[in-house]
Amino acid sequence: MAVLTRTRTGRAEGRRARRGTRDEAPPEAPAGVISLRGVTKSFGAHTVLEDVSFDVPRGEISAIMGPSGTGKSVLLKNIIGLLRPERGEIFVDGEQIVGMREKDLMRVRRKMGVLFQDGALFGSLDLFDNIAFPLREHTHKTEREIREITLAKASLVGLLDHLKKFPGEVSGGMKKRAGLARALSMDPEIVLFDEPDSGLDPVRVSYLDELVKKTQEETGATFFIITHNIPSALRTADHIGVLFRSGLVRFAPKAEMVTSDDPVIRQFLAGRAFGPIGMDELATEETDVEKELVARAQARSAAGEDHVPV
């Protein structure tokens, strides 16, 4: 499958190409299971994402990295539909979701499972009921069917012996595994990860990386990971993208990224102190209004009104 490669120097050409003329052929259909075309998102006067375009290949693991404050989590929230870009298009499985009616957006979201940084587990439910939650809320399956599916997902992530424990009684790694099992409970075509290794020590990060690779191979789903952990991304991802100063430097197969001559990519992947990435990069700031909108959307998701399996 062809993968779109974008560079910051190609932005002007991309904008001219999108404007086009009446004699030009219509644009090609999105090449990826997730496709972004010229996505721009701002909070007040601060532009977090500018003219971001790439295609996520189906059935593989892709990772988006970048220095802190480059808009990685904001990018994920736009793909889910918790935020809406000012400009650009976002396609999920061929459907353009920007401006989509809520009913249709809910239908598209049922193709996704999401693992947020903290696992997003309900503290009042044990791990079994946390994993089973989407099945009880959004399907008409019997309790016997729900139990079978929940046990299967728990087995997949190695949690069968811990299902009666509550989130407050288990380690951060177990919470991540339970969150992954819940994200997989509805057999989504796409699984989105927001900093899955956040708060984990190096040993548990390595274990989680192996679990992610094993789970993707067994399910065949598309995994899209937001991370700042370079070794983790290099271990797990088939394709890697790097964000810097609100733009996408490049998104390409891993082999091409690790041999890239781009100074931003070389500095970031090597973790060097000297280069175009400095200590004074702007942090990604969400306004109070944006934070409130995201919080409300996530609350609706948890209540089953606006479903994203998390």
CATH superfamily of 1-13+28-111+190-310: P-loop containing nucleotide triphosphate hydrolases (3.40.50.300)
Side-chain-facing half-sphere of 86: CA atoms under 13 Å? 12
* Token representation of residue 226: 């937001």
Q: How is the chain split into domains, by residue range?
A: 1-13+28-111+190-310, 122-187
The dihedral region occupied by 145, where left means phi > 0, alpha psi between -120 and 50, and beta the remainder, is: alpha
Radius of gyration of the chain (CA): 19
CA–CA distance from 131 to each of 118, 181, 300 (Å)?
15, 6, 18
CA–CA distance from 109 to each of 97, 112, 141, 190, 228 (Å)?
10, 5, 19, 9, 25
Residue 289: per-residue pLDDT? 44
pTM of the model: 0.79
Q: Alpha-carbon distance 4 to 18, whole Å? A: 15
DSSP state of 225: E
- The H-or-E segment that residue 239 falls in is strand 239-244
Which residues, listed in sequence order, are joined to residue 112 by a DSSP beta bridge? 190
Which strands sit side by side in the sheet containing 95-96, from one edge to the other?
A: 46-56, 34-43, 87-92, 95-96
Going by C-alpha positions, the residue among 83, 82, 9 that lies closest to residue 51 is 9
Going by C-alpha positions, the residue among 294, 214, 184, 245 that lies closest to residue 11 is 245
Query: For every one of its 310 residues, what pLDDT tens digit does the chain have, with 9 covering 90 and above?
Result: 444 444 444 444 444 444 444 444 445 667 789 999 999 999 988 899 999 999 999 999 999 998 877 889 899 999 999 899 999 999 999 999 998 998 899 899 989 999 887 667 898 999 999 999 999 988 899 999 999 999 999 999 999 999 999 999 998 888 989 999 999 999 999 999 998 888 888 888 898 899 999 999 999 999 999 998 999 999 999 999 999 988 999 999 999 999 999 999 998 998 887 778 876 554 444 444 445 545 555 554 544 444 444 4
